[in-house]
Amino acid sequence: MATVRIPTPLRKFTQGKDEVTIAAASVRELLANLEATYPGIKERICDETGAVRRFVNVFVADEDIRFLENLDTAVKDADEVSIVPAIAGGR
């Protein structure tokens, strides 16, 4: 099971949990399984075509998946997967 770090704006989908564990062999599978467990969360991360939204970053073991195999990036059991959306704010 990979550990997925959930950013604050998406914790309303995970009952407030900042970290969840998901079984998956790839990022694509991980996002699908995340959605199965926490319905509604995936559309905040991915657009209609299934691609990761351009203001969101997904990291596997601190590597940006855009520099790896994108959604096909392999996920290992001990990996930490982080979902990092851009922040809007500052006042």
Partner 1 sequence: MTPDVQFVVLGAGGLGCPALLGLRAGGARRVVVVDHDRVERSNLHRQVLYDLGDVGAPKAEVAAATLRRAGLEAVAHPIKLTPEAFGPWLSGFEPDAIIVECTDSPALKFACNDACVAQRRRLVLGAALGLRGHAIAVAPGSACYRCVFETPPPEALTPSCAEAGVLGSAVGVTGFFLAHLACALAQGQALEAVGRLYELSLGSGIIRTIGGRPRSGCRCRAVHPTESPVSTTAVFT
Contact residues toward partner 1 (CB under 8 A) are 7-9, 18, 44, 54-57, 59, 62, 64, 66-67, 82, 84-91
CB of 86 vs partner 1, minimal distance in Å: 4
CB nearer to partner 1: pick between 66 and 76: 66
CB of 36 vs partner 1, minimal distance in Å: 22
CB nearer to partner 1: pick between 8 and 23: 8
Q: What are the b/e assignments for 49-73, b being 16+ CB within 10 Å? A: eeebeeebbbbbeeeebeebeebeb
CB of 11 vs partner 1, minimal distance in Å: 10
Residue 78 · residue 84 · CB < 8 Å: no
Type of residue numbered 85: P
Residue 78 · residue 24 · CB < 8 Å: no
How far is the C-alpha of 24 from the C-alpha of 46, rounded, in Å?
Answer: 17
CB of 39 vs partner 1, minimal distance in Å: 17
CB nearer to partner 1: pick between 26 and 82: 82
